Amino acid sequence: MKKILFLLICATVLINASDIALAKAKIVSFVAKELVKKEYVSIYVEDIDYADIFGVSRNLTRTNSCENADIILIKNIELIPKTCLLNESLVIATSYASYKNTPYVVGAFFWQKGRPNIILKEQKLKELGIVLSEKLNPYIE
């Protein structure tokens, strides 16, 4: 079931791949809603490549203040104020390198070899007391 769901997302992503923004928005929306348990998720975007997801998804709202964001999308952790990293905002990396090298991040969304990747850090989830539905289990490590 989980695999099918993921494949469905992938298929949707691939079918509509001409609209990369839509694909990114769907993935972010899918994971973000599970992480924050909200229908509408406010996101602070540090990675400019993800600035276009708001125009195509109703569930995602952009915030210019990282303190008020439910989720912070980062490419370079150095550019995020420490205060934001210490509050309740969930930090998600947009590259594997950021994910691997940043202790604050709870997970990552990124494209590699033309394929969308979702990774969620099990230990961090436990720390934050986040319990995810089973459909996200394949992405937890």
Partner 1 sequence: MQYSVRNFYFITLLILSIGVLLLFVKYEDTIDDAMKSSEKLIISRVEGFSKNIDEMLKKEFPESASDIFNCTLEQIEQLERHLRLFVGEQYRYVYMVAKDEKQRWRYVLDGSKSISEKGEFLQKFSPESPMWDEVFKTQKPQYKIQDKSMGLWLTYLYPVVRDGKTEFVVAFDFAIKEQKEMGKIFSPLRDYLFVISFLLVLILIFSYLLAYLFYKQKQKSSIDPLTSVYNRNFLKDYGEKIDLNNFAIAVIDIDHFKRINDTHGHAVGDIVLRKIAQSIKDSIRGEDILIRHGGEEFLLFLKTSHSDQNISQTANRIKDSISKKDMELENINIKVTASVGVNPSPWMNSSLGDAIVIADKMLYLAKTNGRDRVEIFEHKQNRDVLKKTEDIALAIEEERLFAFFQPISCVETGEIVKYEALARIITKEGKIFYPAQFLPLIRKTTTYRNLSKTMLKEAFWAINTYGISVSINFDTGDFFDETLFEMIYAMLEENKKIAQKLTIELLEDREILDIQAIVSRINSLRELGVSIAIDDFGSGYSTFHYILSIKPDFLKIDGSIIKQLAKNPHAKEVIGAIVQICKTLKIKNIAECVEEEECLEVLKNLGVDFVQGYAIGKPSFALCVC
Q: Which residues bind partner 1 (CB under 8 A)?
A: 3, 6-7, 10, 13-18, 20, 95-97, 100, 112-119, 138-139, 141
Nearer to partner 1, 87 or 137 (CB): 137
Nearer to partner 1, 14 or 128 (CB): 14
Answer yes or no: are the C-beta atoms of 59 and 28 closer than 8 Å: no
Give the CA distances from residue 21 to residues 9, 67, 78, in Å, rounded to whole numbers and listed in that order.
Answer: 14, 25, 25
Distance CA 30, CA 109 (A): 11
Least Cβ distance, residue 28 to partner 1 (angstroms):
15
Least Cβ distance, residue 69 to partner 1 (angstroms):
25
Nearer to partner 1, 72 or 118 (CB): 118
Nearer to partner 1, 7 or 79 (CB): 7
Least Cβ distance, residue 48 to partner 1 (angstroms):
15
Least Cβ distance, residue 17 to partner 1 (angstroms):
2
Helix (H) or strand (E) holding 109: strand 105-112
Among residues 141, 137, 43, the alpha carbon closest in space to that of 90 is found at: 43
Q: 98 CB contacts (<8 Å, ≥6 apart)?
A: 74, 75, 76, 77, 105, 108
